[in-house]
Structure 1
Amino acid sequence: MSTIAALAEPLYHGYSGTDGVTGFPNIGTYLIFGVVLVPIYIMVVSWFAGTPRDTKTGMLGVSYLVAITAQMWIGMFILTIIIGFVFYGGLPEPLGSPGPTGDIPIFGFLF
């Protein structure tokens, strides 16, 4: 076994990509957005439909929710790219092809 292959062994576990499964609409997505976030939906609607009504404060709350959500999604997207490159040997499916790229996926770019 070469030195490069020995260095790649602890990181790369040999699993292939999830062809056609990776992406946004899965059962977990429907569960989170359809069930878990119902209290958040009720809270946002009550900011605008309830009494006393304060549109400025409601828009500030919506802005905070959008900013926090965007921060989490963008951060997890960047982390997913890093994990895909290091442990799976290539970029995740939306940016690259599914599955590992090459015989030695982690250090394959050196050859």
Structure 2
Amino acid sequence: MSTALPALMDAVLYHGYSGTEGLTGFPNIGTYLIFAVILVPVYIMVISWFAGEPRDTKTGMLGVSYLIGITAQMWIGMFILTVIIGLVFYGGMPEPLGAAGPSNDSPIFSFL
């Protein structure tokens, strides 16, 4: 029975997905779509804060600092959530921090 448990865990948890073995998800078509197309209004807004009339550099810098703070908060929060999901459901740290591919050393399944 102990040899069937890892196979069962692989079948139930991992569904045949493996690690990407390389650059993990950043330079894909979705990244270019988001940064080159979706965020164009944000780029125009930030440029207009400094190039438009009336020009107020102090308010523009305040707006840029808000954008940087909100973006950092979202990215850091999602990174922490990704690490927690990787540890709980996939048995190890996500690929940039840990080894590629699934692991059977999940602490949540230590009682099995």
Verify same fold: TM over 0.5: yes
CA shift in 2, pair 1:109/1:13, >3 Å: closer
Select the structure with the greater relative contact order (CA < 8 A; seq sep ≥ 6): 1
Does the 8 Å CA contact 2:14/2:102 hold for their aligned counterparts? no
Structure 1: give runs of 5+ residues left out of the alignment.
none
Structure 2: give runs of 5+ residues left out of the alignment.
none
Cα distance between partner residues in 1 of 2:106 and 2:12:
8
Q: Give the aligned length.
A: 107
Residue by residue over 1:11-53, the C-alpha shift from the partner in whole angstroms, topping out at 9 and shown as x without a partner, is: 7234322222524211111110010000000000000000000
What residue in structure 2 maps to residue 13 of structure 1? 14
Q: 1:16-27 residue pairs with structure 2 within 5 A?
A: 16-27=18-29
TM-score normalized by structure 1? Answer: 0.81
TM-score normalized by structure 2? Answer: 0.80
- RMSD, matched Cα: 2.7
Is it true that 1:46 corresponds to 2:51 in the alignment? no
What residue in structure 1 maps to residue 35 of structure 2? 33
